[in-house]
Amino acid sequence: MKRLCALFIGIILLTNIRIPMKVYAEPENNPLEITSDAAVLMEGSTGQIIYDKNKDEKLRPASVTKVMTLLLIFEAIDSGKIKLTDQVTISEHAASMGGSQVYLEPFETQDVNTLIKCISIASANDASVAMAEMLAGSEESFVAVMNERAKELGMLNTNFVNACGLDVDNHYTTAYDIALMSRELITKHPQISQYSTVWMDTFVHTTRKGQTEFGLTNTNKLIKQYNGITGLKTGSTGLAKYCLSATAKRNDMDMIAVILAAPSTKVRFSEAAKLLDYGFANCSIFKDKNEDLVVNPIPVKQGIADSVGYRAKDEFSYVCLKGTNPADIKKEITLAENIVAPITENFKVGEVTYTLNGKKIGTVDIVAAETVEKAKFKDYFNFAFKKFLL
């Protein structure tokens, strides 16, 4: 039996595959009444769902689409592909978008920083398409990247057709999928809040006709009303009705409230605030950095070193609802008995499993702390020679 268990652990470690899980905080007797067609409340650092209504229903997202557009922009900045100071020339296609816009003109140039402001504050369709063309060469190519990134994030019920959210056939997503991309944006690129929380700003159009100042006003009314607000994006069209991804941070928790197809703009803001209030009032966060992890090196076979150290790959976080005692959270450490070289740094060698009242609530990988190369003939010769000298 022991050999069978070791074999099973070995198979898991060799495949090194992790399957993403949807984690629910499972509130009891939830008092929330949401009239919008779909809604989700998620805690960002953990990805836990605290509340949902029709979370997987495919609906039109309107300009909430721009969360993905902004995510790809910030990823391009972080990778060094573009800089905030880079100049973007506005195409005739981008200038023709209509809807919410800042009236960019064909052949006008603006820097990336200004276009991010226009997208985040004023929900500018023309600025969104201009950035899409700058990053991918065409809006169509950019949309392909949007859909690929959506798949990587686990957005299984999403299909984008444009970069700005104008109503077109087959352009849809869900409240849950919006929460996923919002989480990726605010946790990996928190600088977005420097744009999405600005209430009013201006920028200058510079064209052949001269220079004119244009005012920007944020479409997210919660910016002026909600304590701890960090963003994020509104959206509305005749077919999508009124949509919102609202994010706020308090007490080390990033709450993400998604509202789709609200009957009015007043309802989308009031119901998003209701979701955020519920999250902050009823939740606290448990964190474990695994600083108590005792490192007894794992034996390595056929390596240039005979053992390898290890560490926890990530910090563990879990949202506790009222009535949950963090002291009831238990953890169990599982380690491979031995490993065969070669081993690369960060190769999975074990796992910390967390349970609450006997129910599994999450895991953290334990990974190799260094690389151990496979021993070659000369290494075995050196080992034998050193033993002979001893």
Catalytic residues: 63, 66, 123
Sheet containing strand 241-250, strands side by side: 48-53, 38-43, 253-262, 241-250, 229-237
Are residues 300 and 306 in contact, defined by beta-carbon separation less than 8 angstroms?
yes
Q: How many whole angstroms separate alpha carbon 389 and alpha carbon 313? A: 40
Residue 315 structure tokens: 């910090």
C-alpha closest to that of 69 among 200, 180, 162, 157: 162
Provide the 3-class DSSP secondary structure of residue 387.
Answer: helix
Q: How many whole angstroms separate alpha carbon 262 and alpha carbon 38? A: 8
Q: How many whole angstroms separate alpha carbon 172 and alpha carbon 61? A: 6
Helical packing angle, 125-136 and 66-78, nearest 10°: 40
Q: Would you put residue 26 in left (φ > 0), alpha (ψ -120 to 50) or beta?
A: left
